[in-house]
Amino acid sequence: MTKVKTLADLKKLRENLQDKIHVRESGEHPESTIQVKVAMATCGIASGAKDVMTFFVEELEKRGINAIVTQTGCMGYCYAEPTVEVTLPGHAPLVFGYVNNRKADEIIEKYIKNGELVDGIIPELYHSIDETGKEK
Amino acid sequence: MPKHRMHLLVCGGTGCKSSDSDLLARDLRNELERQDLTGEVQVVMTGCFGFCEQGPILKVLPDNTFYVRVTPDDVQEIVAEHVIKGRPVKRLLYVDPETHKKVSDSKGMEFYKKQIRIVLRNCGFINPENIEEAIARDAYAALGKVLTEMTPQETIEVIKKSGLRGRGGGGFPTGLKWEITAKSVADQKYVVCNADEGDPGAFMDRSVLEGDPHTVIEAMAINGYCTGASKGLVYIRAEYPLAIQRLKHALNQAREYGLLGEDIMGTGFNFDIEIRYGAGAFVCGEETALIHSMEGHRGEPTFKPPFPSESGYLGKPTNVNNVETYANVPPIILKGAEWFSSIGTEKSKGTKVFALAGKVNNVGLVEVPMGTTLREVIFEVGGGIKGGKKFKAVQTGGPSGGCLTEKHLDLHIDYDNLLSAGSMMGSGGMIVMDEDDCMVSVARYYLEFTVEESCGKCSPCRIGNKRLFELLDKITKGNGTMEDLDRLRNLSEVIRDTSLCGLGQTAPNPVLSTLNNFYDEYVEHVTEHKCRASKCRDLMTYWILAENCVGCTACARVCPVGAISGERKEVHHIDKSICIKCGACMEKCKFNAIFVS
């Protein structure tokens, strides 16, 4: 534990610590944060979604990208597991299929960092009705 | 340390703890360990979320799922479904009482929609026992800012411009108080935090100290810098063990990090804080009595002036502010006076925390901007009256406040509006009453409290309140006369005008406000010996309706005083001279044969 000897120390300490509760703060404002949802139903887990999720959590942090990684249920694309849905602020969610660590790396480097589309996007060919009955 | 991908926030406020939230946290940790998830998922004990009615509360982040009434039995399902598979456990979500829909995000709940959280910004968000989480949320940044960038006078100006007023009840301008203390010349000055929260049903200050102790420590240090004091004292009642424990822990951590003690942040400023325990006397919330108690004398008030700002603890200039007042200070310094004064009404700025209690659906801790109406607080945030009953009155300001009625519901809450309506802001207790509450009994209850808590130093309070209580007691027993009602009013006015301190001066408020707003109910008790809410036992008689009674003997067996007689399969009778009106027979009777009038 370091003693805070100057205001600069405090500021530095705060910056280092902010990461720890970042997950909580971004949870309060999901619309302004990059969101990565990994499908973790039986099919996803069986195809290695857990590894992919860990990869995202660790790599996003290593590369200094503030994003929240959560898991979600089966999206229905069981043939293409593991599937990952990425939402950049202000963009519609995109679903990627057959995501392994290499693909995940590509998604981070190209799509998340630069907004560049990569292969493997599963087109959304359906409409869903949310709980309020309003069409999306 | 790897970053946790998911945080499970468990409410560790006194309310949720008493419904076993610490068992819940323990079981969650154990289950996560069993599933080998401790590196990914973190369990955090936080301060109060405010929604005590629905506790224990568990909030899952980052997906912002708000579970209510969670028990240790739910742990396995939460971990297996939500933590591992990402599927929220629907049965534990909050159900909106209006639409009957499940709401998973707290922002979608009526309870939270009208709230602005300044004082409670960290309650239910950080672990109060971890200074690092507080620092990550800007704790001590305001202290750093004033120490390095601002002079004491500039800092006082910011507080003055913000329009912050004392949250302990009186509403004295905080900046002015600081200025007076700063201008007093002495070799030693003191900063005191008044955490002697004594109103029945109030728990605002306790929740702040339990949920975010560092904000209070920081604000006291800022005050020390402004006024030139190097010593702080927190006067807290010993019956708040959790708040004391967390405050002590926070003080130790702040010292370890060099944020309290000598030469803070290399600026040469010294400040440290001690804790003083109160034995739980209501009068010790009055600042002069509080100071005497801290000095080791009897907790009795003295005449003001001199004000503590000039001559307080050990005769030295002392700045006394309440917990909630202090908690407002760091955000004002960081965000500016304009930001703060943009919230609220013309003369009351910022927000106010209320402990919402009584016959309201969402009992809990709420923070709303000044100027919110009573109706919004009770019917929107509070979710209306329990059991669909009719609203009758709301008591604000605790034993010093008054009862407001239906006609006051659209009153915009601020210091001056509440005063002119015959009540007061007080420290923030808000007790809602419905048609089953008898207003004479309510006044009697509060007087009983004040009589108990009066320190006895001045006669208007010591003797006058006792007489007031006796008059009220007489009326609730059906022995009152119309002259008694006049006597109540006269005596109340004398006590109000002649008592030494705030306790006595405000003690008759519950009587005066109920006399003003519910006079017909007093008259009913006197002339018709009737209590419309069926609360005054002495005005009630129990009797058995012969045609419904089947002679099952259930009532006779349950009666604790043997007042009911009758042969098996024959109509029973209640001997009214023995009956103590406990109502046990009525509860027991399956045939609706027992009535009360």
CATH value at residue B590: 3.30.70.20
Is residue B310 domain-shared with residue B446, that is, in the same domain?
no
Would you say residue B120 lies in a domain?
no
Distance CA A18, CA A5 (A): 19
Residues B461 and B511 both lie in one domain: yes
| Sequence-ordered strand ranges (E) for B70-227 | 94-95, 102-103, 190-195
Flag whether A52 is in a domain: yes
- A102: in domain: yes
* Dihedral pair phi/psi, residue A103, rounded to 5°: -65, -40
- CATH number of the domain at B14, please: 3.40.30.10
Tell me how far CA of residue B204 lies from CA of B61, B302, B373, B495, in angstroms.
Answer: 25, 27, 19, 29
- Partner-chain contact B62 A24, CB within 8 Å: yes
Cβ within 8 Å, pair A21-B136: yes
**φ and ψ at residue A36, rounded to 5 degrees:** -120, 120
Residue B454 in contact with residue B525, Cβ under 8 Å? no
Pairing of strands B573-574, B231-237: unpaired
Last residue in a domain, options B292, B319, B340: B340
ipTM value, please give it.
0.77
**Which residue of A2, A3, A5, A10 is the best one to mutate when testing the B interface, meaning the one whose CB has the most B CBs within 10 A?**
A10
**Domain span at residue B356?**
351-434
CA distance B132 to chain A (A): 7
Report d(CA B447, CA B217) in Å as an integer. Answer: 35
User: Is the same domain home to B63 and B180?
Assistant: no
Residue B87 and residue A73: Cβ atoms within 8 Å? yes
CA–CA separation, A14 and A17 (whole Å): 5
> Would you write out chain B's pLDDT as a tens digit for each of its 597 residues?
456 888 999 999 888 999 999 999 999 999 999 998 888 899 999 999 989 889 899 999 888 899 999 999 999 999 988 888 778 899 999 988 888 888 888 888 888 888 999 999 999 899 999 999 999 999 999 999 999 999 999 999 999 999 999 998 788 999 999 999 999 999 999 999 999 998 888 899 999 999 999 999 999 999 999 999 999 999 999 999 999 999 999 999 999 999 999 999 999 999 999 999 998 899 999 999 999 999 999 999 999 899 999 999 999 999 999 999 999 999 999 999 999 999 999 999 999 999 999 999 999 899 999 999 999 999 999 999 998 899 999 999 888 889 999 999 999 999 999 989 988 888 888 999 999 899 999 999 999 999 999 999 999 999 999 999 999 999 999 899 999 999 999 999 999 999 999 899 999 999 999 999 999 999 999 998 888 888 888 888 888 999 999 999 999 999 999 999 999 999 999 998 899 888 899 989 999 999 887
Residue A105 maps to a domain: yes
Q: Which CATH number is B411's domain given?
A: 3.10.20.600
The reply to whether residue A5 touches residue B40, judged by beta carbons under 8 angstroms, is: no
- Residue B519 and residue B383 share a domain: no
Q: Domain range spanning residue A39?
A: 33-136
Q: Are residues B430 and B443 in the same domain?
A: no
Provide CB contacts within 8 A for B163, sequence distance 6+: B173, B337, B340, B341, B344, B347, B348, B349, B350
Distance between first and last Cα of chain B: 69
Nearest CB partner across the interface for A10, out of B7, B137, B140: B140
CATH of the domain at A98: 3.40.30.10
| Maximum distance among all Cα pairs of chain A, rounded to whole angstroms | 59
Separation CA B24–CA B124 (nearest Å): 16
What is the 8-class DSSP label of residue B270?
Answer: E
Chain A residue with CA closest to B39: the answer is: A54
User: Residue B36, CB half-sphere, CA atoms under 13 Å: how many?
Assistant: 1
- Under 8 Å CB pairs connecting chains A and B tally to 107
Residues A86 and A81: their CA atoms lie apart, in Å, by: 15
B91 plus B213 within the same structural domain:
no
Q: Is residue B234 part of a domain?
A: yes
Element counts in chain B: helices (H) and strands (E): 26, 20
From chain B, the residues in CB contact with A72 under 8 A are 86
CA distances from B339 to B158, B163, B342, B526 (A): 11, 11, 5, 53
Q: Which amino acid is at B517?
A: N
Nearest chain A residue to B262 by CA: give it: A5
Residue A64, in any domain of the structure: yes
Choose from A1, A11, A20 for mutation: most chain B CBs within 10 A.
A20
CA distance readout (Å), A28 to A33, B66, B68: 10, 12, 18
3-class state of residue B543 by DSSP: strand
A20 contacts on B by Cβ (under 8 Å): 3-4, 132-133, 136
Residue A23 lies in a domain: no
The DSSP 8-state label assigned to residue B79 in this structure reads I
Nearest CA of chain B to the CA of A57: how many Å? 7
Residue A28 covered by a domain: no
Instruction: Identify the residue whose tokens are 């946290």.
Output: B25
Task: Look up residue B488 and give its two tokens.
Answer: 């109540």
Q: How many domains does chain A have?
A: 1
Q: Which of B9, B86, B257 sits opposite A73 (nearest CB)?
A: B86
Q: Under an 8 Å CB criterion, which residues of A touch B?
A: 1-7, 9-11, 13-14, 17-24, 26-28, 30, 33, 37, 40-41, 53-54, 57-58, 61, 68-73, 131
Can you read off the two tokens belonging to residue A106? Answer: 């590509």
Compute the radius of gyration of chain A from its Cα atoms. 17
- The CA–CA distances, whole Å, from B306 to A28, B150, B180, B504 equal 48, 30, 12, 19
Look at chain B and report how many structural domains it folds into. Answer: 5
Confidence band, pLDDT 50/70/90 cuts, at residue A17: confident
